[in-house]
Amino acid sequence: MDMVLSSLSEAHAHISSGKPADLGWLLGFCVGIFYASSVVVLYGIVMAVVRRDIWGFINPIEAMVRYAGYLSACLIPLLAVLIVYEVISRYAFNAPTSWAFEVSYMLMGSSLMLAIAFCSQLRRHIRVDFLYDNVSVKMKALIDGAGYVFLLLPMVIWCAWGLWEYFFEAYKVNEVSGESAWNPIIWPFKFTFTFGFYLFALQTLVETIKCALVLTGRDVPEPDAGVFE
């Protein structure tokens, strides 16, 4: 916790000073997204206590993860339009852009990072299930819960913190891509790594709670893909 508070304090100092490239406002926007998502988590905790129902905690987090998944989906048509534009510009007019390659991998990477938690919510991640499918619902919940508690949740929390440091260090040196003549700053793109794994950690916590509910005999509805179905 001391490391988290120290890092946030340093981030606030950079937001105030704008160093190193007068982009403190953009760092502030990124940090503000974390704070806004934390408010959603706190709201869920309050609702769970007030209603004496753990779904008061689960539902707001899953809604936040779902909206991140929708945003991820919206990036794909934009990426398709960009690639078509680049192909036409390059081969029809012999005028390739200097930015298409870097924008395309940033959009694809951002789409992937923002969708990881939503994919987990829908239980669409790849798993080896030749034995898993043949056990009872409670045994599945026990297997999943053990995997979440002892393997996935610690790993995702560790990765989320490491990716925050990765992003923040990139901000402090105003890291650029070095991949083209355009040479854009790269640290805003790295923010999607951090936030994506932060959402993944929250969704993994929710999935762990769902496993506990199944083990105690509570009904847990099947995940809803919403507009994707």
pLDDT computed for residue 34 by the predictor: 94
Q: Where are the alpha helices (DSSP H) in 92-173?
A: 100-121, 137-147, 153-172
Contact 163, 199 (CB under 8 A): no
Go through the chain and tell me how many residues it has.
229
| Percent of the chain predicted with pLDDT > 70 | 98
Stated pTM of the model: 0.92
Residue 124, domain extent: 2-228
pLDDT computed for residue 228 by the predictor: 55
> Cα–Cα distance between 176 and 80 in angstroms, integer?
24
If one compares 212 and 96, the residue with the highest pLDDT of the two is 212
Residue 135 to residues 75, 92, 130, 207, 222, Cα–Cα distance (Å): 38, 58, 10, 19, 18
Asked whether the predicted pLDDT for residue 229 surpasses 60, the reply is: no
Kind plus residue range of the DSSP H or E element containing 86: helix 55-91
How many structural domains are present in the chain? Answer: 1
Question: What mean pLDDT is predicted for residues 191-205?
Answer: 97
pLDDT computed for residue 226 by the predictor: 62
- The most confident of 9-23, 52-66, 170-184, by mean pLDDT: 52-66
Question: What mean pLDDT is predicted for residues 202-218?
Answer: 95
pLDDT computed for residue 124 by the predictor: 84
Cα 198 to chain centroid, rounded: 6
Asked whether the predicted pLDDT for residue 227 surpasses 60, the reply is: no
Asked whether the predicted pLDDT for residue 87 surpasses 90, the reply is: yes
pLDDT computed for residue 79 by the predictor: 94
> Cα–Cα distance between 207 and 123 in angstroms, integer?
10
Q: What crossing angle do the helices spanning 55-91 and 100-121 adopt, rounded to 10°?
A: 150
Question: What mean pLDDT is predicted for residues 119-134?
Answer: 82
